[in-house]
Amino acid sequence: MWFSQFDKSMIYQMIIHAGPMAKLVLILLTLMSVFSWTVMINRWLVFKKVNKQGRKFLEIFWRMDDFKLIFADARKYKKAPQAVIFQSAFSELKKWTTNNPSLTTIDNKTILESCIEVMRKSSQKEYLRLRQGLGFLATVGNTAPFIGLFGTVWGIMRAFHDIGLRGSASLADVAPGISEALIATAFGLAAAIPAVIGYNHFTQQLYEQRTGMEMFMTDLLNRIKITYWSKGHEGV
């Protein structure tokens, strides 16, 4: 175990005997830590599902030639950004070809540009969905140490104020107040370090997902060109 019974009792006593401002700082840091862990667990579950569904959808995408069948299967993978992008692009393509049964070569560029725009909007929405909560982790990582430091400075000021009132400056009089003050810094670091690690980890995950979306959009665009225009348009 990380802490002995003595350590737990000592920490508990320091928290109990801390001043009102120090307690307020500790409560705030505790809430920040709890919420940051909640965000990290949520993002871990989200990215786990995104990666799993993304791999399965890409297998279907490269295995099947019929876009209609891929579109039908894509509905099963709502958490995969690639599936969402494919659905938006195919729906846009279907809308154009349904309303314009006889397409000319000039129309092809317009349709492709429309599909590209739709895919970009879908990818941006997916990016923002995956990024939810990361801003909070960054805020906790950046501010928690300073909030803890504020609690420490306030506690030290309180300790020296009490020393001045008692007129005594022995180690036995100074040490308890200083130790109570320093626990705020410890709480700040305990909240900030996991948040920073989580932010860096999920930012890397987000970068990989965004890169994967960009690569998929290029592959999908190439397949649209090959499927519908290299051999002549036959309808969607």
pLDDT, one tens digit per residue, over 78-108 is: 999 999 999 999 998 888 777 665 555 446 7
More confident residue, 194 or 102: 194
Least trusted range by pLDDT, from 18-27, 38-47, 66-75: 18-27
The pTM of the full predicted model, rounded to 2 decimals, is 0.81
C-alpha–C-alpha distance, residues 189 and 161, integer Å: 26
Does the CA dihedral 169-170-171-175 come out positive or negative?
negative
The answer to whether residue 57 sits within a structural domain is yes
* Number of domains observed in the structure of the chain: 1
What band does 9 get if pLDDT is binned at 50, 70 and 90?
A: low
Distance CA 64, CA 67 (A): 8
Q: How many CB atoms lie within 10 A of CB 139?
A: 14
pLDDT at 102: 53
Q: Is residue 123 part of a domain?
A: yes
pLDDT for res 225: 83
- With beta carbons less than 8 A apart as the criterion, state whether 151 and 27 touch: no
170-192 CB burial, b ≥16 within 10 A, e <16: eeeebeebebbbbbbbbbbeebb
Under 8 Å CB-to-CB from 29, ≥6 apart: which residues?
144, 147, 148, 151, 184, 187, 188, 190, 191
Instruction: List pLDDT tens digits, range 127-179.
Output: 999 999 999 999 999 999 999 988 888 777 776 766 666 666 665 556 666 76
Asked, for residue 235, whether it belongs to a domain, the answer is no
Averaged pLDDT for residues 45-54: 95
Confidence check: pLDDT of 44 > 70: yes
Is it the case that residue 43 has pLDDT exceeding 60? Answer: yes
Task: Assess if residue 236 is contained within a domain.
Answer: no
In a domain, 9, yes or no: yes
The tokens for 127 are 């990016």
- Residue 121 domain-assigned (yes or no): yes
Domain that holds residue 36: 5-230
Within-domain flag for 63: yes
